[in-house]
């Protein structure tokens, strides 16, 4: 191959390499940026007076005097709205049945939106679900609701060759000439005064439990559940994995039995996680009966089995990477095999072993499938450390899936979903980062 | 194809079992510390040492020379049973240390290796501080109890190894940060810290420059007063400088043993002569 060809080859490799790295970075950016902005939105947002009321009533946080005063302030404006409703209702009483019918459904819609904004309206029954007891807690949701109030959405089917188009007509047109017509401009102008949005730093999103299936409140139960599951998994898998790795590298003879064990381990590393989930259900819950039904314990055990092969692999590689000369030096000084392993080989292999452990911890924290059948519930109370043996727990990974796909108000709580994703990603990234730092520190200490 | 076949036949002939060759020279010494009789070593089916018998005397330096692959390291590693760590390795025959067979099943290799220390070809200090490198083995053997005991043993070992002056101000620094020659002397200090009776050295200077080599040779000369030393070396000059007796190995056989002077001036075996005059290997 002549020089020219080699140069062209070199350059094209470089170009392709750089392009693929850039592509990956771009893809990462496309994923991370919305998660980050969306997730931050769960903590920093414009909160309304309803948010402050909720915080006070449910968590005892906030200044009662301020909340009282703000409630009075907003009630002045809200009462005007309620008065308009009253006026329109009396007007309707006097209408012809056909005319009345014309307004009935539109009016119901108006009431629904208003109840969504302010909480139960005068004359409504006291709602049972918490989500109906309060108005909109987030200002951007209030603005969406206002839009719903102001406009009726319609679909344009006129052109059969095109997809139907959505368009909006002002709702006030429908109520022209009635007592309710004045409501719409009034709402548009005074909504802020009825809700008093303020920039809110809602730290409680991380430290508080969720209320009414994540409609309100935070994600502490999920964070804690994830922590229990991942920590529990490591509690089982890490010591077992390291011991197995020591056995493989230092004790196992090269025979058929060992190679069967080795290939079993490699196979296990490649098994899809859902299979581990089913195995956990079948084995830990149905056969061994570690708990009546789903529990943190069963989930941890399942996750432990899932990450075990990875830990064994990492530890084995780390131990094999320790220079043989250390071992020889130690043995030639009359140290026992056991002491050589404990005081010479393991310390030298520690950075690699710990890295493997922390990466597995991150994986255990992030996996969904193994805990579906063994540990996770969609909504649950925060559990204490004493309950891990027999209580299931909510967990970030599973609840992200659940909120996105199965929650009845999925579109209303996007911020919670983003917040959970951000929390999970942060936890995993933080773990990986600490692995890198720890590794660097220990290697530095070893090298000096 | 033909050539490959031919090659295989040739290799077979070399590897085929054959009788050991007789050793020339006096294998006995008046006051032996270690006595080896009819030692055979096999790696799997392959025999690496054939029927070797030799004594190693008190306070002498025995040099082992021979072409690469002749089994010097293998034989040396039998003397403190380091070969046990190789699964395929099998040793037969008798190796007596102070009259006791070290391959007897009742023998515990742990104290044996403390008594028969070893220094390797490549300096291999632990990734610990200089102090810890030396103090580690005395600690695990319970030789030292207090901190002052340890300090004392570290200082005396480093002094014996001729390293004390160079490192006394930086004992807490990692042993791996020393120069190659210093590292090798550190390994020697580490080996003598457990007060062994025999020190085995496998080409201890092969990775060192002439100055560091000279220091280690001086050190060996000094250590001889207290210890018995067996050293493998590829340098004829080194063998003649440091040793009292020399053993010449060839393809697993011990060809000739004698005082260093005799071996280097009037070798009896043709192979020995070829080797030391540089016509071989
Ligand atoms: N672990 C082992 N497994 C199998 N064969 C081995 C092993 N170690 C050494 N041998 C073989 O035993 C023979 C003697 O090796 P040894 O290392 O003792 O030679 P040596 O004299 O020390 O050589 P050098 O001067 O190159 O160090 C060689 O043929 C070598 O290939
Ligand atoms: Mg050798």
pLDDT digits (tens, 9 = 90+) for A4-62: 999 999 999 999 999 999 999 999 999 889 899 999 999 999 999 999 999 999 999 98
The string over B175-190, giving b where at least 16 C-beta atoms fall within 10 Å of a residue's C-beta and e elsewhere, is bbebeebbbbbbbbbb
The pLDDT tens digits of the residues spanning B73-83 come to 999 999 999 99
Asked if the model's pLDDT at residue A330 lies above 60, the reply is yes
Q: What is the Cα A173 distance to its own chain's centre? A: 43
Contact A330 B126 (CB under 8 A): yes
The values of phi and psi at residue A388, to 5°, are -65, -25
Protein residue with its CA nearest to atom 3 in ligand 1: B43
Higher pLDDT, A160 or A243: A243
Q: State the pLDDT at residue A176.
A: 84
Contact B129 A448 (CB under 8 A): yes
Q: State the pLDDT at residue A446.
A: 67
Give all domains of chain A, ordered by start, each with its CATH number. 45-202 (no CATH), 220-447 (1.10.3720.10)
Q: What is the Cα B103 distance to its own chain's centre? A: 18
Strands (E), B151-275: 198-202, 228-232, 245-250, 253-259
Task: Please report residues of A whose CB lies closer than 8 A to that of B173.
Answer: 448
Nearest atom of ligand 1 to the alpha carbon of B44: 4
Classify burial at A402, counting beta carbons within 10 Å of its beta carbon; exposed 0-12, middle 13-18, buried 19 or more.
Answer: buried
Q: State the pLDDT at residue B17.
A: 54
Angle at CA of residue A350, ends A348 and A356, nearest 5°: 140
Q: State the pLDDT at residue A163.
A: 85
Instruction: Give the span between the Cα atoms of B58 and B62, in whole angstroms.
Output: 10
- The pLDDT mean for chain A works out to 90
Asked if the model's pLDDT at residue A413 lies above 70, the reply is yes
Strands (E), A186-225: 198-201, 210-211, 216-217
Q: State the pLDDT at residue B18.
A: 62
Asked if the model's pLDDT at residue B6 lies above 60, the reply is no
Task: Please report residues of B whose CB lies closer than 8 A to that of A331.
Answer: 82, 85, 113
Among B11, B39, B43, which residue has the most ligand 1 atoms within 8 Å of its CB, making it the best to mutate?
B43
B127 at the A interface (CB within 8 A)?
Answer: yes
H runs (alpha helix) in A367-405: 369-372, 396-405
Q: State the pLDDT at residue A411.
A: 82
Q: State the pLDDT at residue A448.
A: 52
Q: State the pLDDT at residue A386.
A: 80
Q: State the pLDDT at residue B7.
A: 52
The values of phi and psi at residue A120, to 5°, are -55, 135
B72 at the A interface (CB within 8 A)?
Answer: no
Nearest by CB to residue B137, choosing from A323, A325, A333, is A333
Contact B110 A333 (CB under 8 A): no
Q: State the pLDDT at residue B12.
A: 45
The pLDDT tens digits of the residues spanning B222-265 come to 888 988 999 999 999 999 999 999 999 999 899 999 999 999 99
B103 at the A interface (CB within 8 A)?
Answer: no
The answer to whether the complex's ipTM is over 0.90 is no
The pLDDT tens digits of the residues spanning A120-177 come to 988 888 888 888 899 999 999 999 999 999 998 888 888 888 888 888 889 888 888 8
**Full-model pTM:** 0.82
Pair A307, A387: CB distance under 8 Å:
no
Q: State the pLDDT at residue A444.
A: 78
The pLDDT tens digits of the residues spanning B171-224 come to 999 888 898 889 999 999 999 899 899 999 999 888 778 888 888 899 899 888
Residue in chain B nearest A252 by alpha carbon = B87
Euclidean distance between the first and the last CA atom of chain B, given in angstroms as a whole number: 30
Strands (E), B127-270: 198-202, 228-232, 245-250, 253-259
Asked if the model's pLDDT at residue A447 lies above 50, the reply is yes
Q: Which of residues 238-257 of A touch B (CB under 8 A)?
A: 253-254
Asked if the model's pLDDT at residue A392 lies above 60, the reply is yes
Instruction: Give the span between the Cα atoms of B45 and B27, in whole angstroms.
Output: 28
Q: State the pLDDT at residue A178.
A: 85
The pLDDT tens digits of the residues spanning B45-98 come to 999 999 999 999 998 999 999 999 999 999 999 999 999 888 889 999 999 998
Q: State the pLDDT at residue B1.
A: 47
Angle at CA of residue A321, ends A352 and A341, nearest 5°: 80
- The arithmetic mean of pLDDT across residues A97-108, rounded, is 86
Q: State the pLDDT at residue B90.
A: 92
In Å, how far are A229, A295, A321, A324, A394 from A289, measured between CA atoms?
18, 11, 40, 45, 21
Protein residue with its CA nearest to atom 24 in ligand 1: B68
């Amino acid at each position: 191959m002549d020089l020219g060809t080699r140069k062209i080859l070199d350059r094209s490799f470089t170009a392709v390499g750089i392009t693929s790295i850039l592509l990956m970075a771009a893809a990462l950016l496309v994923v991370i940026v919305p998660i980050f902005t969306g997730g931050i939105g769960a903590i920093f947002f414009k909160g309304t007076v309803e948010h402050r009321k909720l915080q006070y009533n449910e968590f005892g946080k906030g200044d009662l005097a301020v909340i009282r005063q703000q409630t009075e302030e907003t009630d002045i404006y809200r009462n005007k709205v309620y008065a308009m409703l009253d006026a329109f209702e009396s007007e309707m009483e006097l209408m012809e049945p056909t005319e009345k019918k014309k307004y009935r459904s539109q009016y119901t819609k108006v009431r629904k939106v208003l109840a969504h904004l302010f909480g139960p309206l005068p004359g409504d029954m006291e709602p049972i679900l918490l989500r109906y007891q309060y108005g909109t807690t987030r200002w951007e949701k209030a603005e969406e609701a206002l839009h719903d109030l102001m406009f009726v959405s319609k679909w344009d089917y006129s052109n059969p060759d095109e997809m139907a188009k959505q368009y909006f007509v002002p709702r006030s047109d429908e109520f022209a000439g009635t007592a309710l017509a004045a409501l719409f401009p009034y709402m548009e102008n005074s909504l802020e005064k009825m809700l008093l949005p303020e920039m809110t730093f809602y730290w409680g999103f991380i430290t508080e439990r969720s209320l009414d299936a994540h409609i309100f409140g935070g994600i502490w139960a999920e964070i804690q559940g994830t922590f229990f599951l991942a920590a529990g998994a490591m509690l089982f898998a890490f010591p077992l994995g390291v011991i197995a790795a020591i056995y493989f590298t230092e004790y196992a003879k090269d025979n058929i039995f060992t190679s069967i064990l080795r290939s079993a381990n490699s196979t296990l590393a490649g098994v899809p996680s859902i299979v581990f989930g089913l195995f956990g259900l079948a084995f830990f819950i149905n056969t061994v009966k570690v708990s009546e039904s789903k529990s943190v314990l069963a989930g941890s055990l399942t996750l432990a089995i899932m990450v075990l092969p990875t830990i064994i692999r990492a530890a084995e590689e780390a131990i094999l990477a320790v220079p043989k000369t250390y071992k020889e030096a130690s043995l030639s000084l009359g140290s026992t095999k056991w002491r050589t392993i404990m005081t010479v080989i393991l310390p030298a292999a520690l950075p690699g072993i710990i890295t493997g452990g922390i990466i597995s911890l991150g994986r255990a924290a992030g996996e969904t499938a193994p805990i579906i059948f063994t540990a996770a519930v969609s909504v649950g109370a925060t559990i204490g450390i004493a309950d891990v043996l027999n209580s299931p727990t909510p967990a970030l990974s599973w609840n992200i899936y659940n909120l996105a796909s199965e929650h009845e108000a999925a579109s209303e709580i996007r911020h919670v979903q983003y917040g959970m994703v951000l929390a999970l990603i942060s936890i995993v990234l933080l773990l990986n980062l600490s692995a890198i730092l720890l590794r660097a520190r220990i290697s530095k200490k070893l090298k000096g | 194809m033909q050539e490959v076949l031919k090659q295989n036949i040739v290799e077979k002939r070399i590897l085929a079992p054959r009788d050991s060759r007789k050793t020339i020279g006096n294998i006995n010494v008046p006051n032996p510390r270690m006595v080896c009789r009819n030692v055979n070593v096999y790696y799997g089916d392959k025999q690496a040492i054939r029927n070797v018998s030799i004594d190693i005397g008190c306070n002498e330096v025995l040099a082992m020379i021979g072409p690469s692959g002749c089994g010097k390291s293998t034989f040396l590693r039998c003397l403190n049973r380091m070969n046990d760590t190789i699964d395929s390795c099998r040793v037969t025959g008798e190796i007596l240390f102070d009259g006791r067979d070290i391959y007897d099943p009742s023998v515990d290799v742990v104290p044996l290796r403390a008594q028969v220390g070893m220094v390797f070809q490549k300096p291999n200090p632990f990734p610990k501080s200089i102090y810890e490198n030396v103090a580690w083995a005395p600690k695990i053997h319970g030789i030292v109890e207090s901190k002052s005991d340890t300090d004392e043993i570290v200082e005396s070992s480093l002094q014996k190894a001729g390293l004390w002056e160079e490192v006394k101000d930086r004992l807490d620094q990692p042993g791996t940060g020393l120069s190659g020659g210093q590292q090798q002397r550190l390994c020697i200090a580490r080996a003598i810290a457990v007060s062994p009776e025999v020190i085995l050295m496998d080409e201890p200077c092969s990775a060192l420059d002439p100055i560091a080599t000279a220091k280690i040779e001086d050190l060996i000369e000094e250590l001889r007063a207290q210890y018995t030393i067996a050293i493998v070396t590829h340098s004829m000059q080194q063998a003649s400088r440091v040793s009292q007796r020399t053993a010449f190995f060839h393809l697993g056989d011990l060809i000739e043993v004698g005082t260093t002077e005799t071996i280097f001036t009037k070798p009896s075996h043709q192979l020995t002569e070829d080797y030391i005059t540089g016509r071989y290997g």
